[in-house]
Amino acid sequence: MSNVKNVNDSTFESEVLKSTQPVLVEFGAEWCGPCHRMAPILDQISDNTDIKVFKIDIDDATEVTAKYGIRGVPTIMLFNNGKVLATKVGLVPLNILDAFITENLNK
């Protein structure tokens, strides 16, 4: 069972921006092959870390997608205290994503 939840325009603020713990968000789309390949990687991150992990479909969440200037999918954004700490675009292997999270949370 995946701990990765979906967010949209109406739940993004409460789930991501107002979260008291760090949040990793994958901006993706149903039609995106690399996004589907990110799913098990996101599941592992969610299962093995204390951060929340969410997915957001760019076709359904046009306000959030526009606000953050998402141009390619998958785009991974790491948030803490309502602010973007870092962004990574494209399919990211687990070891690289894990290092990305650790590096940016320890700045």
Catalytic positions are 32, 35
Which residues, other chains included, contact 12 with Cβ-Cβ below 8 Å and sequence gap of 6+?
56, 61, 64
Specify burial of residue 20 (Cβ count, 10 A radius: 0-12, 13-18, 19+). Answer: exposed
How many angstroms separate the CA atoms of 66 and 44, rounded? Answer: 28
